[in-house]
């Protein structure tokens, strides 16, 4: 039996959704963030190899990293459409988006988060100076890369219903976290009709709804000003 150690407002929501999609029994342990620091509590950090969420335990095995967990869990479901088989027409598309989540989308968000935190927490006039310097990073580096990524998403979701192709796959599940983080920041407020349709499509799924109900939080992603 697998135990999902789910930290509220964290990337472990992916695994909660995955397990609901698979409909297999699992044990769910919920952990709240420290109300002072917003970080994972000490028992969570002690459990997770790198102190990060998600983490699952299966007997004596302790496994972290979202996509490692998704791959491992799907090993036991070889017939699931959540991972198109080698040779499937959607295989390459699925793999690209599955790995673009940690490989391209998340790092851009992490860099933006660190810069944003520094800006907002520094006292004036340092904050003002940081804003000016970071504005250049956004203009030269972060914004063009983000824009290329979002445009490709919009294009691909205009061709097929899910990131992974015709069916929901691990690509959609791993992208759910950065997609909601982006939506919460207003990134999709103008345009992106195909991306909006994707959000509607996943939110209509019963497994997504039950994952949200078990999570029982007002939103999926973390933000520093809760």
Window 93-122: contact mask with a second copy (x via CB under 8 A)? --xx-xxx-xxx-xx--xx--xx--x---x
Name which position in 141, 203, 217, 223 contacts a second copy (CB under 8 A): 141
- 150 counts as binding a second copy under rule CB under 8 A: no
Cis status, amide bond into 125, omega within 30 of 0: yes
Cis status, amide bond into 27, omega within 30 of 0: no
- 40 counts as binding a second copy under rule CB under 8 A: no
- Residue ranges in 48-67 that form contacts with a second copy under rule CB under 8 A: 49-52, 61, 63-67
Taking phi first (over 0 means left), then psi (-120 to 50 degrees means alpha), and beta for anything else, what does residue 192 get? Answer: left
151-185: string of b/e by CB count within 10 Å (b at 16+)?
eebbebbeeebbbbbebbbbbbbbbbbbbebbbee
40-51: string of b/e by CB count within 10 Å (b at 16+)?
beeebbebbeee
- 68 counts as binding a second copy under rule CB under 8 A: yes
In terms of CB distance, is 136 or 216 closer to a second copy? 136
In terms of CB distance, is 77 or 214 closer to a second copy? 77
The binding site for a second copy (CB under 8 A) comprises 49-52, 61, 63-68, 71-72, 75-76, 78, 86-87, 91-92, 95-96, 98-100, 102-104, 106-107, 110-111, 114-115, 118, 122, 126, 129-130, 133, 137, 141, 145, 148-149, 152
């Amino acid at each position: 039996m697998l135990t999902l150690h789910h930290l509220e407002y964290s990337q472990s929501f992916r695994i909660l959704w995955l397990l609901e999609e698979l409909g297999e029994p699992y044990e769910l342990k919920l952990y709240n963030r420290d109300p002072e620091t917003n970080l994972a509590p000490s028992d969570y950090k002690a459990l997770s190899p790198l102190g990060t969420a998600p983490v699952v335990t299966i007997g004596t095995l302790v496994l972290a990293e979202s996509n490692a967990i998704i791959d491992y869990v799907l090993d036991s479901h070889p017939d699931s459409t959540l991972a198109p088989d080698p040779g499937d027409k959607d295989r390459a598309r699925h793999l690209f988006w599955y790995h673009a989540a940690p490989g391209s989308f998340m790092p851009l968000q992490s860099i933006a988060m660190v810069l944003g935190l520094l800006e907002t927490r520094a006292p004036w006039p340092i904050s003002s100076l940081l804003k000016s310097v970071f504005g250049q990073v956004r203009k030269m580096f972060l914004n063009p890369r983000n824009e290329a990524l979002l445009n490709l998403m919009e294009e691909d979701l205009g061709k097929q219903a899910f990131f992974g192709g015709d069916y929901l796959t691990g690509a959609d599940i791993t992208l759910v976290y950065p997609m909601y983080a982006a939506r919460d920041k207003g990134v999709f407020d103008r345009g992106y009709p195909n991306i909006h349709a994707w959000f509607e499509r996943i939110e209509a799924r019963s497994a997504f709804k039950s994952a949200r109900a078990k999570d029982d939080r007002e939103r999926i992603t973390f933000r520093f000003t809760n």
